[in-house]
Amino acid sequence: MLLQSQASQLTELLGLPEAKVEDMTIIDGVGVFFVVRSTRRDAECPRCGKRSRHLHTNNGYDIEDLPWNDQSVVLRVNRRQFWCEGCGEVFSEELVFVNKRRLYTKRLANQIVGQVLGSSIRSVAARTGMSEEQIETMLKDAGEAYLLETPEGLKYLGIDEIAVVKGQGKYYGVLVNLETHQPITLLPSRSPPPATAVTPPSRPRYRYSITI
Ligand SMILES: [Zn+2]
Q: Are 196 and 184 in contact (CB under 8 A)?
A: no
Q: Are 160 and 176 in contact (CB under 8 A)?
A: yes
Q: What is the structure's pLDDT at 178?
A: 72
The β-bridge relationship of strands 168-177 and 182-190 is: antiparallel
Q: What is the structure's pLDDT at 189?
A: 60
Q: What is the structure's pLDDT at 176?
A: 75
State in Å: Cα 44 to ligand 1 middle: 8
State in Å: Cα 52 to ligand 1 middle: 8
State in Å: Cα 83 to ligand 1 middle: 8
Q: What is the structure's pLDDT at 56?
A: 96
Q: How far is CA 111 from CA 72, 108, 138, in A?
A: 14, 5, 10
User: In one letter, which amino acid is 53?
Assistant: R
Q: What is the structure's pLDDT at 187?
A: 65
pLDDT tens across the length of the chain (212 residues): 788 899 999 999 999 999 999 999 999 888 999 999 999 999 999 999 999 999 999 999 999 999 998 889 999 999 999 999 999 999 999 999 999 889 999 999 988 888 887 778 888 999 888 898 888 888 878 777 666 655 566 677 777 777 666 665 566 777 777 777 666 666 656 555 444 444 444 444 444 445 44
State in Å: Cα 100 to ligand 1 middle: 18
Q: Are 129 and 123 in contact (CB under 8 A)?
A: no
State in Å: Cα 54 to ligand 1 middle: 12
How far the first Cα of the chain sits from its last, in Å, is 54
Its ipTM equals: 0.99
